[in-house]
Structure 1
Amino acid sequence: MQVCESLGLSVESLQLLTNHYFENMTAFSLFHQPSFGDKIQAIPNTLHLSALMSSMFSISARFADDGTLPLAERQCSSSHAYFHGLARTLIDQAIDQCDDDPPPLCVLQALILSTFYELTKGVRGRAWRMVGICVRVAYELRLHSVDSMARTTPPSTTTELNQWSAMEERRRSWWAIWEMDVFASTVRRCPTAIGQDINETYLPIPDDLWFKNTYQSSCLLDPTPTERSRKLTLSGNDSSAAWSITINSIMRNAQVLAQSSLHSILSDITPGDDFHSLKRYFHGSFRRRQSAEDTRQLSMLLKALQQTVADLPQRLAYKGTQLGFGSSPPSFASNNTQTISDRKLDAAQHSIFLATQLARFMIYHHYAFSEVLLGTMFSESGSSSPSLGWTATPRDPKERLTHSEGLRNCLEASDDIYAIICRSSETHVRWTSPFLASTVWLAASLQVLRKVFALSTCDEMSEQKVALLRKTCQSYTYLWDTPQSLLQNLDTLEQRLMRKKTEMVAMEVQHTAHSTSGQWTHQTACLQSHENTYNLRMRPGSHSLPARQETTGLDVLSASSQDGNIDHLAFANAPYGNLDIPDLSTSDDFNGFSEADQELSFFISSLIG
């Protein structure tokens, strides 16, 4: 085959890498696997085919065992970077060759996989621009309107079913681009390239039905968040991809609402120069921008998330059980159809659960932003000045929807992410999307925030939570080359927050010395002791938290909720947490943070943005 020559592979190696792709690629399902051989045979242009295969191998080469490949081919066949570089070159040539004509679907599929590879390394300039190219090519191919004139009756003849199956492949490409667009735009805090108002392509159906050419109805992603899960349920479509997209769309809506509140006051280039504008914003602009419509939108998004969780098909709902991701060792010879099916189902439950917690965070951090304004971020009493008295101890239900509820729910989402990771196979990062690394990092950052600002809950369990979440981020970096900067940021976060907390203590001691000097002296001493311990642990030459002590998932999850940890029975009964609406009212007493709190203010605003 000419494609083997262009890629420098034997036929056997090409088949092996193709098999590895279909076994291990769970982030997207772009191809009709049973007819994939016919698909590549039908691509007449060798350049287009080589671009497609090399982009696939940039994924599968990560999982290829060098020992299974011929000696002369091991170096390139096990190098995902080699195939990615080759794919980028071939894709550029293929697009140039198209001139003013739209590229064929196979070239777009190659571009999607190449863009996915870049995004795993970080949403930097090249990856960001490649997402834009994907969207433009998809528009050229009219993938945004595949079902704008959808038939009203199900296909019945073989010809009609084949046409429907071909359209499903186009839908898969569109929604893969949509997911990358949402991910990249969320990370960069920028608008998406895909407009929600012109999305007329049905959500993808389950792979097993598509592969069998068995028709399944679906629906559009409704513009109204509260209608999305209802219409998806009515369609009968229980595809994990469709439900994940629905949850991520709610997450994205919540983040866009936050962006409108922080519009144009922060600079990604020199954030330190924007502190005074942020301070002025906290003083007045936020009150003016927090309209009744914003409150209504938040309530609607929370209702939409609640409804989506309630409507989620039972097979996709995580119920607090152990996720083994397949019982067989990760080798091609041992994998059977049932093992792969079980693994994909575990990956679907894991991914949907994390997506739900991210959506939960994106909604509740709006209320955390309000708590910054009200001065109740770390206050149990509701006093208007920032306090060190915040605790995760449960309160009377009548008092639950008061001070610090936004932050509490954000921390509960972090706890739930930790809990499911405890119950997932250590190799789960191999079978889940590397895009989830940023969600795990966010959970770890929130645990660090809890450690620093909630001394009463800082114990060995807190250390274990941060350590396990960091270890998971590190595993994503090792396998998928996710950004090393996530780990570097996490390793310095506690020290930076501790420094700012020390400044806050000094300010509050001075402010309240006339009435509570004894209390603040005690808290300052506790803080200094904690900081000294931290400095010893993070001595020069050490760049990470202590190694996680071995413990079972049951032991970890059975810790007391009064210590800020997860109760395993409560988690099993309600693994998606309690989605309540905090009742936060504006106070005119809080005058904003002082300049000494610059870094804390930006940390909180970064969680919001």
Structure 2
Amino acid sequence: MSFSELTYPSEGVTSQQEATAQGHQCPTKVDRILGIALEHLEVTRELGNALLSSYFSNMTAFSLFSREILDNRLAHTKSILDAEALLASIFSFAARFVATPSAETSDHTGSGTPAASHFATIASQRLRRAYTESEDLTPSLTLIQAYILLSYFELTESVRPRSWRILGECVRISYEIRLHAIDEDFDPDSDISAIGIDLEQWTMREEYRRAWWAIWEMDVFASTLRRLPTAIDWTQNFTLLPVPDSDWFSRSYQKSCFLASDPALRWKDLTKSGNRSAKAWFILINSLMRNTQVLVFSARALALEPSYAEQLSVDLTLVSNALSCTTVSLPDELVYSGEILNFENDPTDGTQLQADADKYSIHLMTQLSHVMINNYSVRARAPWANNTSKESSHSHGLHSRASTAEWTKYLNAAEEIVKIVRNSNPRHYRHVNPFLVNTLWFAAAAQCSCRVFGPTSLTRQHRLAGSNLDLLQLTIDRFISFWGSTEKLKAKLARLERGLATLMQPRDKEHGDASRSTQSDMILQDVNAPSMLDTTGLDLLTANWDPVLGSEEDVYDENILHSFAGNFPFGLDDLIAFANA
């Protein structure tokens, strides 16, 4: 024990990586454990095998294990309760792909497949029991994997308080077994080769790395939507980025790297390592999106503080440069170039569906980052942010051209999202991470903004906005219908567009913008949403509304506009000031 450990008032947590992952599974033992667990879950062996097959055929969001690695984990599990929790959480995903029509409206049927929610409930119950019974014992990786898949199920439905707290537990438990420091003994500057690597140890550690990065990804997703700090401390992250599945499953060593704190170093480190993993590159781009979101939607940025503008501009430029370098450095097989994505496995190649999902995810996250980077510039040039009526004709012309340029970049990113949706299999929503539906919402909100506030000089964008919005709304509806999300994203879009048109209308008429005023009138007629005032004439800006859970009532209040401002290039203060101008 070191001096620092001896002089610290509490015992530290040591990494307890289970040696079970190093050995090879015993088929008889796997069969016995699986049989007992399925019996306790009241699932037949036939249905259990179908659900497991469904999971590995359709799970593209996270690669926590292969079937061989899962069997190995089950064979060496020390708790049947942990095994039941993991299987139930796996089934909560897989059931959507094998569910019978009768299971769509019932948690359990006598002859059909139970609904996904049925297995999620069982997984939650088993996890509670296992966590209670373990008391002060270090949780197993099996238990954490079950927590990951349950958190995934809950977040898919909504980033509401329940799913937020379950994810928080998942983060805390992962810290207990030091998933954040799996490779703290690794020297990234060492010239290590496969010859000096213990492949069994490396393979085992990769399973832990996959668990950690799945938690990291969910933490970024939930924290971004709720505009709250992440639970994971990025400065204390000593776990290497994941390598390609093909290398992991075949025990072929591939060097990797850490996710650097400095955005400018991330693409350099990953390129230097030679790691071509789609997940590693997605994580890198996802991290840049999060960096951008924190900058653009900070209180000072939303308030458009002049004293903060220069610093923010520099910071955004640094992130933008890092994003550009990252996209240029992407391995060719991960670059989307406008091709059709079929989301179907070729009979001779069982990895095509995953490859299409990877391209789709990386492209959407890249464009979302661009949308956010250009967000501030568009917001800063909003009609209410500059009193252009007092400007000279020359300066007004310069302002208009700059505004058009910023809008063009902003909308180009949104149109890239529309393009890949248009070029994907109509049923692609079944085969990508459902978290990405929120990226489609950002793109749809951009189309709304173009229709209501975009420069009239953007003729092409205005003509396409309505059609693009239709495609995005339809795709969002399909995502929500299949994945069972409780988010009313389409309703929010309708309320958003009407609310913005309502705010714009009096200003347009006051300033004599007849074409814009007519456009606002048309939007107000087209969008089926309530007025800013209720039947009694009371201002609904003060009504109660939960920005995360939403409301059955279509009302406009501070919270809903705050919620929209977080996903839209105009802040709440801007909107209210503009409405009262």
Aligning the two structures, in what range does the TM-score lie when normalised by the shorter sequence? 0.7 to 0.9
Residue equivalent to 1:207: 245
| Residues 1:524 and 1:53: Cα distance change in structure 2 (over 3 Å) | closer
Residue equivalent to 1:289: 308
| Residues 1:368 and 1:453: Cα distance change in structure 2 (over 3 Å) | closer
1:317 and 2:335 correspond:
yes
For CA contacts below 8 A with separation 6 or more, give which structure has more relative contact order.
1
* Corresponding residue SS for 1:402: helix
Whichever residue aligns with residue 450 of structure 2, its letter is R
| Residues 1:374 and 1:527: Cα distance change in structure 2 (over 3 Å) | closer
Q: 2:180 aligns with which of 119, 131, 144?
A: 144
1:6 and 2:6 correspond:
no
Residue equivalent to 1:135: 171
Residue equivalent to 1:163: 201
- Matched ranges for 1:168-567 at <5 A: 168-262=206-300, 281=303, 286-290=305-309, 292-326=310-344, 336=347, 338=349, 340-372=350-382, 375=385, 402-454=402-454, 456-457=459-460, 461-509=464-512, 520-521=513-514, 523-525=516-518, 527-528=520-521, 530-531=522-523, 535=525, 538=528
Unaligned ranges ≥5, structure 1: 264-277, 329-335, 510-519, 541-595
**Which shows bigger deviation, 252-261 or 83-92?**
252-261
Residue 41 of structure 1 and its aligned partner are, at CA, apart by 1.6
| Residues 1:20 and 1:68: Cα distance change in structure 2 (over 3 Å) | farther
| Residues 1:115 and 1:521: Cα distance change in structure 2 (over 3 Å) | closer
Residue 68 of structure 1 and its aligned partner are, at CA, apart by 13
* Corresponding residue SS for 2:402: coil
Whichever residue aligns with residue 130 of structure 2, its letter is A
Residue 368 of structure 1 and its aligned partner are, at CA, apart by 2.2
Residue 166 of structure 1 and its aligned partner are, at CA, apart by 0.5
Answer whether contact 1:369 1:604 (CA < 8 A) is retained: no
Answer whether contact 1:62 1:78 (CA < 8 A) is retained: no
Answer whether contact 1:147 1:200 (CA < 8 A) is retained: yes
State the percentage of identical aligned residues: 33
Answer whether contact 1:33 1:211 (CA < 8 A) is retained: no
Whichever residue aligns with residue 48 of structure 1, its letter is D
Residue equivalent to 1:30: 64
CA distance in 2: counterparts of 1:92 and 1:42, whole angstroms: 21
Q: Deviations over 1:145-190 (max 9, x none)?
A: 1111027534548x92111101000000000000000000000000
CA distance in 2: counterparts of 1:537 and 1:525, whole angstroms: 14
Whichever residue aligns with residue 451 of structure 1, its letter is R
CA distance in 2: counterparts of 1:422 and 1:444, whole angstroms: 14
Answer whether contact 1:302 1:363 (CA < 8 A) is retained: yes
| Residues 1:173 and 1:506: Cα distance change in structure 2 (over 3 Å) | same
Q: 1:81 aligns with which of 114, 117, 127?
A: 117
CA distance in 1: counterparts of 2:195 and 2:529, whole angstroms: 70
Residue equivalent to 1:607: 568
CA distance in 2: counterparts of 1:241 and 1:206, whole angstroms: 8
Whichever residue aligns with residue 13 of structure 1, its letter is L
Answer whether contact 2:341 2:423 (CA < 8 A) is retained: yes
The TM-score with structure 2 as length reference comes to 0.79
Whichever residue aligns with residue 296 of structure 1, its letter is V
RMSD in angstroms over aligned alpha carbons?
Answer: 3.2
| Residues 1:232 and 1:36: Cα distance change in structure 2 (over 3 Å) | same
CA distance in 1: counterparts of 2:566 and 2:207, whole angstroms: 40
**Which shows bigger deviation, 233-242 or 461-470?**
461-470
Q: Deviations over 1:294-322 (max 9, x none)?
A: 33211110100000000000000001111
Q: Deviations over 1:493-526 (max 9, x none)?
A: 32222222212213323xxxxxxxxxx4465456
Residue equivalent to 2:17: none
CA distance in 2: counterparts of 1:217 and 1:148, whole angstroms: 15
| Residues 1:142 and 1:67: Cα distance change in structure 2 (over 3 Å) | same
Residue 408 of structure 1 and its aligned partner are, at CA, apart by 3.0
Residue 38 of structure 1 and its aligned partner are, at CA, apart by 2.2
Residue equivalent to 1:587: none
CA distance in 1: counterparts of 2:487 and 2:472, whole angstroms: 14
Answer whether contact 1:155 1:164 (CA < 8 A) is retained: no
CA distance in 2: counterparts of 1:163 and 1:57, whole angstroms: 29
CA distance in 1: counterparts of 2:463 and 2:370, whole angstroms: 27
Whichever residue aligns with residue 222 of structure 1, its letter is A
CA distance in 2: counterparts of 1:435 and 1:67, whole angstroms: 25
* Corresponding residue SS for 2:256: coil
Answer whether contact 1:201 1:220 (CA < 8 A) is retained: yes
